[in-house]
Amino acid sequence: PAYAQNPQQYPTLILTPDGVAAIKATLGNAPLLTSSFQETKQSTDALMSAGINVHMPKDAGGGFTHEQHKRNYKAMHQAGILFQVTGEDKYLQYVKNMLNAYAKLYPTLGLHPERKEQSPGKLFWQSLNDCVWLVYTIQAYDAVKGQLSQQEIQNIEKNLFYPAARFLSEESAETFDKIHNHGTWAVAAVGMTGYVLNDKKLVQQALYGLDEKGTGGFMAQLDQLFSPDGYYTEGPYYQRYALMPFVVFAQAIANNEPQRKIFSYRDNILLKAINTALQLTYDMKFFPFNDALKEKDLRSVELVYGTNIAYAHTQDKRLLSIAEKQGEVILSAEGVQVAKALDNKEVQPFNFTSMELRDGAKGNEGAVGVLRSGIQDKDEALVMKYSSQGMGHGHFDKLTWLFYDNGSEIIQDYGAARYLNVEAKYGGHYLPENKTWAKQTVSHNTVLVNEQSHFGGNYDLGMKSFPTSRFFDVSNKDVQVMSAEIKEVYPGVNFTRTMAMLRDEAFDNPIILDVFEINAKDSQQQYDLPLYYQGQLINTNFDVQNNSSQLKAVGQKNGYEHLWQVAQGKLPAGTVQVTWLNGDRFYTYSTIGSENAEMLFTRIGANDPNFNLRNEPGLMLRKKGNAGQTVFVSVLEPHGEFNAKDEYTTQASSQIKSLRLQEQDGAKIIWIETMNGDLRAFTLATNPAVKSKHNIKTQSGKLNWVGPYHYFKLKK
């Protein structure tokens, strides 16, 4: 007996009486609010025109009853908002009738006939969907409860909301108390129900777990599911998804118990998590590492909530630029604030920035490093992934990288193999190829030893291991460098990767330097370093044998069986280069050839009987290595312009004349000589200590520096 004491206080969750007043006062003025309202009204009216359809649950995900119960909660939620804003009786009646229908149905339900074994639902095949249903439906009830008779209230709460809350808490104890995003949906649903039902115990359980002791529940999830930098271990795609119940429940807490200062909790962890989700994007699209569908972007509803609510709590005008691209706001006080600020032209560019996002609840399980050349949509972004495995949706992709430039994906992570909600594609589930290809190391831009995935593809081993950041230094915007290492990726094999984004007048655009060191106990190893470029191959500076009349797969297993070997070439000693065209810009990948090194040219799509994979190109550097250290040094260089409109092409070939590696006095020196006669040296000390001093004499002069690395401009 608790929170909202009288009808005037409803609604009390996300929409509030103040929010309703603000929406009414703003409609017709701020365009984004008005259009969002109109769209909601249109879609709700369309849904309502089909009448009340509350069916006995029968179908699995994607099936009719599944989709109908989804439509129902969406329709109820929206109708509740519309009732509050317009006062129109038809919306009230619709919600009331639907809730009554559910109150009649719910007590008759056992577990869903198509239930998933681990966490069965009642309305849906898995309890996760029931939680989502409740999160939305309790908001609909919240919107109309003030208009209901005591008898109606008693019927609906007794027969629907209490049983549903009980089912999703006590009766699904394991999920409810789990520190996992499914658990967050459960505690959000139950906690929000607690507020509307004035039931303090439900709220306490939601916050502190079934036993109310804090080992489970929302606060523990806030403590453990995000790193201190607001990074969610499963990666950006699931960070987006996980955010929804966090943000919605937190806003409900803020509205009902402001004294909890939930958004300030753990050094503003939720606001950090929202910001981190926004930062882990390029041109609105999430960096698609781990299981991730590339078509998802910042327009998704979770980030509309996230951006609107973060803006209301911070008044950070840079968030408005995201909201502007989202093109809609939520119908609440927060959405009104965003729409009004945009209408007042208060928008500022979002502060996309270079940052290292630590992984792990304590921030000590590796990180994701992001280097950016600027804050514009078309600027470069380099991502190196040296975070932990990322639970069940993680990929075996230690120290992989992704690169974006000129508005496009240039070096890709494949993402997940899945067509969400497309029945014909394995029921819309993750495809078998997600396991055989997308999760395997060979589908990533990192080294494989002897054609095996990292940790032998063993999940438990992967979960136990994580890389360590050696250094991440973006203090000089022209020379941004990150370095990470991981031990025992394979028995007796350690990796160290250092990547730099170097802005230099010798080049059209910042170049990317990549130094991948492998230290192995055993000899006779084969090292493969794939590179999944996007674009049309233009040329190579070495001979390539094309398998013109017959293609075979590169290998037999661990994902190699999904790669067609289109061509191959031995790498001559010296600088070897491959150039491709993406949009109106050229990209040259330069690396160092040697005896026993070759390059394979691949295309994804072998052993894909159901056409599930995208048939995209790749390169693969292959080297024989002996015991000790083997190094891959390469540079990716965006250059020139292919201008179709005005029919000219500039700088279609690389500026790099030579790329060389020299090892001396405890450091690696990467020499870059340009066509114009510039000479550059990137030095990388074996000792990463910030204060270590280095003085190396070379034929091109003395290289003196302090710290783990330095970038020398020696000529011109």
Annotated catalytic sites, by residue?
Answer: 238, 393
| Residue 154 site contact among its own copies, Zn ion, none (CB < 5 to 8 Å, cut-off depends on kind) | none
Identified binder of its own copies from the candidate list 5, 646, 699, 702, rule CB under 8 A = 646
**Is the separation of the CB atoms in 507 and 655 below 8 Å?**
yes
Interaction partner, residue 377 (Zn ion, its own copies, none; CB < 5-8 Å by kind): none
The residue from 145, 178, 272, 395 that contacts Zn ion (CB under 5 A) is: 395
Count other Cβ atoms within 10 Å, centred on residue 345.
Answer: 7
Total of residues contacting Zn ion (CB under 5 A): 3
Among 117, 460, 505, 647, binds its own copies (CB under 8 A): 647
Is residue 67 within 8 A of residue 47, CB to CB? The reply is no
Rounded Cα distance between 515 and 25, Å, is 58
Binders of its own copies among residues 537 to 576 (CB under 8 A) are 537-539, 544, 546, 548-553, 561, 564, 566-567
- Give the nearest distance from C-beta 491 to Zn ion in angstroms: 23
Name the minimum Å distance from CB 648 to Zn ion. Answer: 25
464 touches which of its own copies, Zn ion, none (CB within 5 to 8 A by kind)?
A: none
Contacts with 3 (C-beta within 8 Å, 6 or more apart), sequence order = 9, 12, 195, 198, 200, 203, 256, 257
Q: How far is the CB of 430 from Zn ion (least distance, A)?
A: 12
Question: Rounded to 10 degrees, what is the CA torsion of 200, 203, 209, 210?
Answer: 50
Q: How far apart are CA 303 and CA 280, in angstroms?
A: 12
Q: How far is the CB of 232 from Zn ion (least distance, A)?
A: 16
Query: Does residue 325 interact with its own copies by CB under 8 A?
Result: no
User: Please, what is the Cα angle at 517 between 513 and 519, to 5 degrees?
Assistant: 180
CB burial of 463-488 (b: ≥16 within 10 Å; e: otherwise) equals eebbbebbbbbbeeeebbbbbbbbee
Q: Which stretch binds its own copies (CB under 8 A): 116-124, 292-300, 345-353, 658-666?
A: 292-300
Candidates 218, 205, 287, 223; CA nearest to 247 is: 218
- From the CB of 226, what's the least distance to Zn ion, in Å? 21
Q: What does 395 bind: Zn ion, its own copies, none (CB cut-off 5 to 8 Å by kind)?
A: Zn ion
Part in contact with its own copies (CB under 8 A); list of ranges 19-27, 505-513, 533-541, 686-694: 533-541
Tell me the window of 318-326, 397-405, 654-662, 694-702 that interacts with Zn ion (CB under 5 A): 397-405
- Which partner in Zn ion, its own copies, none is near 537 (CB below 5 to 8 A by kind)? its own copies
Residues in the chain: 716
> Which amino acid is it at 396?
F
CA separation for the pair 303, 77 (Å, rounded): 18
| Residue 69 sits in the site that holds Zn ion (CB under 5 A) | no
Q: Residue 46 or residue 627: which is nearer to its own copies going by CB?
A: 46
Q: Name the E strands within 605-708.
A: 617-625, 628-639, 641-643, 648-650, 656-664, 667-674, 679-685, 693-698, 701-706
CB under 5 to 8 A by kind: which of Zn ion, its own copies, none does 424 bind? its own copies
**Residue 522 contacts which entry, its own copies, Zn ion, none (Cβ below 5-8 A, type-dependent):** none
DSSP state of 430: B
Chain centroid, CA 224 distance in Å = 18
Using the rule CB under 8 A, which residue among 610, 664, 676, 687 binds its own copies? Answer: 610
Task: Choose the binding region for its own copies from 247-255, 599-607, 626-634, 671-679 (rule: CB under 8 A).
Answer: 599-607
Chain residues in the site for Zn ion (CB under 5 A):
395, 397, 413
